[in-house]
Structure 1
Amino acid sequence: MGDQGAMYVPEYLLPVYRDKVVPLADILTPNQFEAELLTGRKITTEEDAVEVMDLLHKMGPETVVLTSSDLPSKRGDQFLVALGSQKIGEVPDQLSPDRTQKICIDIPKVDAVFVGTGDLFAALLLAWTHYHPKDLKTACEKTVSVMHHVIKRTITYAHELAGPGKRPSPAQLELRMVQSKADIENPAIVVEAKVLQKSSH
């Protein structure tokens, strides 16, 4: 729907996404800006992010991953913070109908602009949550690790094409998907997620 404070789609479509599309989704992968638009809540702390993910769960999706946020990483400004939440089943206590697993993941930043990384992230997360239906931590680690391998391979290739001291063009930065088949199928885990909570509400 948008990013960096600007919408990609006409504003009048926001209620359609919020009221019609989101309730039908099993998995939702908004960035921070989109999550704020959908819930009407600002995210300035990790606690805000947790509350926003819970609000998004209430709209329907079982799994919510904030693919990027403006929250500071504990590992420094070379990292982007993503957060996720997954419902992990019913508990007998009537007062606490839902349990969720919440995770946080620090993603290394890359100094380049790529086309299609959001789509790739969503596709990979869908695949890995199918393989690990009740283990968001592993699904996210595999998703982000594949992203890391694909982007690294793409940058290396783009710099070779551009030549020494030259900035690669958007065409040269086209994601090296076919060349990354082995990593996509069986990624070496290079990014670890941290479990924030696995609790009842």
Structure 2
Amino acid sequence: MNILSIQSSVAYGHVGNSAAVFPLQRLGFGVWPVITVHFSNHTGYGQWRGPVLPAADIADVIAGIEERGVLPSCDAVLSGYMGDVSLGEVITDAVSKVKAVNPQAVYCCDPVMGDVGRGFFVRPGLPEFIRDRAVPLADIITPNQFELEFLTGRTIATLADALSAAKAALALGPRLVVVTSLMREDAPADTIEMLAVQEDGAWLLETPLLPLSVSGAGDATSALFLAHYLRDRSPASALEKTANSIFAVLERTAAEGAREIQLIPAQEEIAHPPSRFRARAVERQDASASAVG
């Protein structure tokens, strides 16, 4: 299977395509990485160097791929941080071209806009573009809790809130919503959760909350979920495999006191996800219901 991944890139560390490409390749996927920026390191360090590629240049790269006649063999498009609306338009145009020649292709949109505690960290106009243009085109979206709240205009404090917001997000166009980091008031203490919701079911998985703050984990999460979903089309299975691999990466990162996620040292856990954490089905109509599977 082949995935067109349009994201940022860094020479040192793991964010954007630098967090997504290796895990996808380790799982056996062909990846066509299109980079939107090429920085020395991620911006969380406060200092970085490198170019932001103009939208026209990125479109030119995609046009070159199209000219090879390979778009019909593209099984999925993955996008993350968009930078600005002009780049967003290049991405949505690429998705439309892929779907025109392969209607079965899946678009996974990580609607990177902001986070709880930080608020928005993207340029004005981009959140609205993502909500109104990118999300309706997507088959899968992977928002964090803050992003899901913006997309749906809802506040999330409980599991019932999260399920209701995810259902509202489905109404925007995607067929599957994956909340990558859910921290609700009615969850067990010191845990963080992932939630996958589609029209006919919802699945929740919790892991311990590790004492670290790193960049790139969300980018790797979106890539891994897309990969596992493409294989068996099971949201529950994809959720379990993704969460178990990512927790293993983060657990190793915390143990080593590293600032960058430890993708390479944890590559065996990426290629062969452990079975430590299990997803449980939750009732969409009653979030307080017990597990049903």
TM bucket (normalised to shorter chain) is: 0.7 to 0.9
Q: 1:31-50: CA deviations, max 9, x gaps?
A: 11111111111112222211
Q: What is the TM-score of this pair, normalised by structure 2?
A: 0.55
Q: After TM superposition, where is structure 1 displaced by more than 6 Å over at least 4 residues in a row?
A: none
* TM-superposed deviation, 1:156: 2.5
Is residue 126 of structure 1 aligned with residue 226 of structure 2?
yes
Distance 1:148 1:178 in 2: 14
Residues 57-136 of structure 1: matches in 2 within 5 Å? 57-72=170-185, 74=187, 76-87=188-199, 100-133=200-233, 135-136=234-235
The answer to whether the aligner puts 1:32 opposite 2:132 as a matched pair is: no
CA RMSD of aligned residues (A): 1.8
Identical positions, percent: 33
> Which AA in structure 2 matches 1:137?
A
Maintained 8 Å contact 1:73/1:81? no
Residue in structure 2 matched with residue 16 of structure 1 by the alignment:
129
Tell me if the contact between 1:73 and 1:80 (Cα under 8 Å) persists in the aligned partners.
no
Q: Which moved more, 1:172-181 or 1:30-39?
A: 172-181
**TM-score computed with the length of structure 1 as normaliser:** 0.79
Greater shift, 4-13 or 24-33, is seen at: 4-13
Structure 1: gaps of 5 or more residues:
88-99, 159-171
Q: Matched residues in 1 for 2:248 and 2:181: separation?
A: 18
Give the Cα–Cα distance (whole angstroms) in 2 for the partners of residues 73 and 47 of structure 1. 10
SS of 2:198's partner is strand
Q: Deviations over 1:131-178 (max 9, x none)?
A: 220x211110110100111112222233xxxxxxxxxxxxx3322212
Tell me how far 1:9 sits from its aligned partner: 0.9
SS in 2 for 1:153: helix
* 8 A Cα contact 2:225 2:238, kept in partner: yes
Distance 1:33 1:111, change over 3 A: same
Q: Deviations over 1:71-106 (max 9, x none)?
A: 1354x321013221024xxxxxxxxxxxx2101111
What is the Cα deviation at residue 198 of structure 1? 7.5
Alignment-mate amino acid for residue 197 of structure 1: E
Q: 2: CA distance between counterparts of 1:72 and 1:189? A: 27
* Residue of structure 1 equivalent to 2:16: none
What stretches of structure 2 of length at least 5 have no aligned partner? Answer: 1-112, 286-293
Aligned to 2:92: none
TM-superposed CA distance for 1:187, in Å, is 1.1
Q: Which amino acid aligns with 1:30?
A: P
- For residues 78 and 15 of structure 1, the distance between their equivalents in structure 2, rounded to whole angstroms, comes to 33
CA contact (8 A) 2:176 2:198 kept: yes
2:173 partner SS: coil
Per-residue deviation, residues 4-25 of structure 1 (Å, max 9, x unmatched) = 1500113422221111010111
Q: Distance in 2 between matches of 1:137 and 1:32?
A: 19
Q: What is the alpha-carbon distance in structure 2 between the residues aligned to residue 102 and residue 136 of structure 1? A: 8
Please say if residues 157 and 185 of structure 2, whose CA atoms lie closer than 8 Å, have aligned partners that are also in contact: no
TM-aligned CA deviation for residue 127 of structure 1: 0.7
- Whether the 8 Å CA contact 2:193–2:206 is kept in 1: the answer is yes
Q: Which residue of 2 aligns with 1:148?
A: 247
Following the alignment from structure 1 to structure 2, what is the Cα–Cα distance between the partners of residues 12 and 69?
Answer: 25
Distance 1:126 1:4, change over 3 A: same
